[in-house]
């Protein structure tokens, strides 16, 4: 039986998480969304890991800006969204679309197209491992802004992610949890589960601890963007979040 994936958060910029992923059996290593090569290469070196693959979920520079440097330093291959290849500076080795897969040793991640934040945004879903790398589509108690996509697209993408098993660990790319939790508590002021999660997030952030990964079960229970019944309701909620401070 294959060992579980080893996943390490590499903080970058103000609030990004870049993810190093290792298969202990084969010693193969990938990095998800290396917006900044310096901390990724430093953490991999500290652990004695050699990065062999780069996986991008979408084209934004804070997710792709370190591609070229990581590849130059390691010889890693680059897999990225086919629909956004012309917006990513580094040349792709593999163009990914719905139904494709990425592999790390014996571990297989299914490619899901989850548009909304960008039009070609992907999620990488490792069903057997109970792990999903979702980029900027789903956050702890929140979701990404609609820079390119429509409310209908983002609503459908979130609802699709919500069909994953409760225990699925969700690796998103930003530490937005405190702001999202405060908004959720504002919207659902009488909801005990939301209030409890806000308190837990406040405690973790006060202690300097990260709040990611989350789980599908937690998001179903406390993420207001998974509770709306239609894309129109989603659009109103997203606009309210954009104005919230």
53 in any annotated domain: yes
Answer whether 51's CB lies under 8 Å from 70's CB.
yes
Residue 217: give its domain's CATH number.
Answer: 3.60.15.10
What pLDDT does residue 2 have?
A: 66
10 Å Cβ neighbour count for 81?
25
25 in any annotated domain: yes
SS3 35: coil
What pLDDT does residue 161 have?
A: 98
How many structural domains compose the chain?
A: 1
| Residue-wise pLDDT tens digits, 225-242 | 999 999 999 999 999 999
**Marked catalytic residue, from 23, 36, 129, 136:** 136
| Residue-wise pLDDT tens digits, 56-102 | 999 999 999 999 999 999 999 999 999 999 999 988 999 999 999 99
What pLDDT does residue 182 have?
A: 98
Contacts of 46 (CB under 8 A, 6+ apart): none
Known active-site residue 58: yes
Of 52, 2, 3, 12, which Cα lies nearest the Cα of 210? 12
**Marked catalytic residue, from 23, 63, 107, 121:** 63
204 in any annotated domain: yes
Dihedral sign for Cα 16, 222, 116, 144, please.
Answer: negative
Known active-site residue 127: no
Q: What is the mean pLDDT of the chain?
A: 97
187 in any annotated domain: yes
What pLDDT does residue 245 have?
A: 78
Say how far apart CA 159 and CA 121 lie, in whole Å.
15
16 in any annotated domain: yes
**Marked catalytic residue, from 23, 36, 60, 129:** 60
| Residue-wise pLDDT tens digits, 111-159 | 999 999 999 999 999 999 999 999 999 999 999 999 999 999 999 999 9
Known active-site residue 86: no
Known active-site residue 25: no
Known active-site residue 186: no
CA 125 to chain centre: 10
71 in any annotated domain: yes
Per-residue pLDDT band for 12 (boundaries 50, 70, 90) equals: very high
Known active-site residue 63: yes
1 in any annotated domain: no
Say how far apart CA 19 and CA 22 lie, in whole Å.
10
Provide the whole-model pTM: 0.97
Q: By residue range, what is the domain housing residue 237?
A: 6-243
Known active-site residue 60: yes
| Residue-wise pLDDT tens digits, 155-207 | 999 999 999 999 999 999 999 999 999 999 999 999 999 999 999 999 999 99
**Marked catalytic residue, from 117, 121, 129, 155:** 117
Which H or E run contains 12?
A: strand 6-12
Say how far apart CA 26 and CA 188 lie, in whole Å.
46
């Amino acid at each position: 039986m294959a060992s579980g994936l080893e996943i390490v958060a590499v903080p970058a910029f103000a609030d990004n998480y870049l993810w190093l992923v290792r298969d202990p059996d084969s010693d193969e290593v990938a990095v998800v969304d290396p917006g900044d090569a310096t901390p990724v290469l430093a953490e991999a070196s500290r652990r004695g890991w050699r990065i062999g693959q780069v996986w991008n979920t979408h084209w934004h520079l804070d997710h792709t800006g370190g591609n070229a440097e990581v590849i130059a330093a390691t010889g890693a291959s680059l897999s990225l969204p086919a629909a956004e290849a012309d917006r990513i500076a580094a040349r792709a080795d593999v163009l990914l679309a719905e139904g494709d897969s990425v592999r790390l040793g014996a571990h297989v991640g299914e490619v899901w197209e989850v548009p909304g934040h960008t039009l070609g945004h992907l999620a990488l879903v490792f069903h057997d491992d109970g792990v999903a790398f979702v980029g900027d589509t789903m956050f702890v108690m929140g979701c990404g802004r609609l820079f390119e996509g429509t409310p209908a697209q983002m609503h459908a993408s979130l609802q699709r992610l919500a069909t994953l098993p409760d225990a699925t660990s969700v690796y998103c790319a930003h530490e937005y949890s405190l702001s999202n939790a405060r908004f959720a508590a504002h919207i659902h002021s009488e909801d005990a589960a939301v209030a409890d999660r806000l308190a837990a997030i406040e405690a973790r952030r006060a202690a300097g601890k990260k709040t990611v990964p989350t789980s599908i079960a937690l998001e179903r229970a406390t993420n207001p963007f998974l509770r709306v019944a239609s894309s129109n309701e989603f659009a109103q909620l997203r606009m309210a979040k954009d104005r919230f401070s």
